[in-house]
Structure 1
Amino acid sequence: MTAERLRAAPKDAAVRRPVVRLLAALAVVPPMRLAVARYAVPPDSVDRAGCDGCGAPIGLDRPLPALGPTARCPVCRARVGAAPGVVELALVAAVAVLALTGGPVGERLAVAGWLAFAVPLALIDAAVHRLPDRLTYPAAAGVWVLLGAVALAGAGPAPWLRATAAGLALGAGFAGTTLLLGRRGFGLGDAKLALSVGALLGWYGWPVLVVGLMLAVTLSALVALVLLAIGRARWSSHLPFGPFLVVATALTLVLTT
């Protein structure tokens, strides 16, 4: 009987892992929806604190239904934040990225922490062309600290120093295009997002960082061409770059780690 129990234990653990991951992912939905609802407002506007229709407050103390999959105000039933199912689908994609990313546990924790901020950032930027400081800076600090812990745990200082240099270099490069080109360059929000993206990809090497950046530019160019071809954009239109940077970073992690 003891031997049978020992053989069954790994099977039970293998069954429980996906369930635990699913429950953890579902627990993240309300904070992500709250971030999108609160910060998906035009630049220089006050952060949203309640329903646009009736003013009912929105918060984690009363997450449903406003911060659930239906995304509806509990009072007037108006839509709140991202469309129903959008955050949930993005979170499923993020969990898939995390599952497909290799490396030690510490590195994957850094990826998970970055994705927790990157998902709402991408949705906010796609909606209102804005990457709020309250999400970009914690994303960069979280990646930097978690990778620092991995370095202290045995990876050594070299990859962490490279990640730090890569994050600063990519952020400065993006900010430089803003100063030199204005609206034709990257926005300052993109530069702040680039701090975490550069650090995360730079941890794995400079070539990985180059691949991620090239992939982001390629994806944005392809989408722009498609929108031009179907008449949904003009040559003067400005596409938000944050979603492409997030998607390209996630794909690069899956393909190269």
Structure 2
Amino acid sequence: MVGLAPVLRLAVIRHAVPAGVASRAACEACEAPIGLGRPWPVLGPTARCGRCGARVGPAPGAVELAVAAALGVLVLLGLAGGAGGGAGGGWAGGGPAVLAATAWWLGWAIPLVFVDVAVHRLPDRLTWPAAAGTWLLLGLAALAGAGPAPWLRATAAGVALGSFFAATTLLLGPRGFGLGDAKLALGVGALLGWHGWAVAVCGLLLALVLSGLVSAALLATRRVGWRSHLPFGPFLVLGVLGALLLP
């Protein structure tokens, strides 16, 4: 997964653009075309364009650090699954397929966090594959021996959580969550719902509490105003990790 860092950085660079712009196609400083080959760009920890040396995308080392953290989470979850036993929803019940579903979701969640922080958007090109791949891999886990019950619960949780976020958008407008959050929530609900309704609720509550605490801190230090809108995607991702890592 560490070797994916340049690809994930490229995904952030391409998709961290304002609404209405399809994607970033070139360096804004020298207009070198974006790609993984030379001269554009050095997609490593330096975060510099290979042609002009301009700063490109997230801060140096930020994506690599996020990938290392995700890898650490997967190791902890893998150890927890190896220590468990039995069948049904959970790490042991689904075997490697559940861990693969988690790895797949994290692979998309990392660029989504950086994009949401940069431009307050969660692009469809990242949210839909995250949700669809997670759901399909959990289906494989069900076929591998966990049975249909946890997969059906994961499906219901994904639809329920996505519908909740979408409803706030429709009812509250700009004061609610965005549709991007609703699409991200589809994969979140499926991944957490596999492990139980309590885990799904825990993840949502953790995200809301973290968001509230950060918002209160920023308001207290006057770094944001009452009408400011914080991106919720990063808190939702942190809520997922917290819920999965809790005993």
CA RMSD of aligned residues (A): 1.2
Aligned to 2:37: 61
Q: 1:64: how far off?
A: 6.7
Aligned to 1:14: none
Identity %: 64
Name the aligned partner's letter for residue 100 of structure 2: L
- Given the superposition, is the C-alpha separation of residues 62 and 146 from structure 1 closer, same or farther in structure 2, using an over 3 Å criterion? farther
Aligned to 2:66: 90
Equivalent residues of 2:158, 2:186 under 8 A apart: yes
Name the aligned partner's letter for residue 164 of structure 2: G
Q: 1:62: how far off?
A: 3.7
Higher mean C-alpha deviation, range 64-73 or range 180-189:
64-73
Equivalent residues of 2:47, 2:58 under 8 A apart: yes
Q: 1:46: how far off?
A: 3.2
Q: How does 1:62-211 map to 2 (within 5 A)?
A: 62=38, 65-101=41-77, 102=80, 103=91, 104-211=95-202
Q: 1:230: how far off?
A: 1.1
5+ residue gaps in structure 1? 1-23
**1:59-113: CA deviation from partner (whole Å, max 9, x where unpaired):** 1234875311111111111111111111011111111111111322211111101
Name the aligned partner's letter for residue 36 of structure 1: V
- Given the superposition, is the C-alpha separation of residues 63 and 135 from structure 1 closer, same or farther in structure 2, using an over 3 Å criterion? farther
Distance across 2 between alignment mates of 1:62 and 1:248:
38
Aligned to 2:83: none
Please, what TM-score do these two structures have when normalized by structure 1? 0.88
Name the aligned partner's letter for residue 115 of structure 1: L
Q: 1:164: how far off?
A: 0.5
| Equivalent residue for 2:231, pick from 226, 236, 240 | 240
For these two proteins, the number of residue pairs brought into alignment is 232
5+ residue gaps in structure 2? 81-90
Equivalent residues of 1:33, 1:81 under 8 A apart: yes
Which entry has the higher C-alpha Rg, 1 or 2?
1
Distance across 2 between alignment mates of 1:84 and 1:131:
22
Q: 1:226: how far off?
A: 0.7
Equivalent residues of 1:58, 1:66 under 8 A apart: no
Please, what TM-score do these two structures have when normalized by structure 2? 0.91
Distance across 2 between alignment mates of 1:52 and 1:66:
15
Which secondary structure does the structure 2 equivalent of 1:32 belong to?
helix
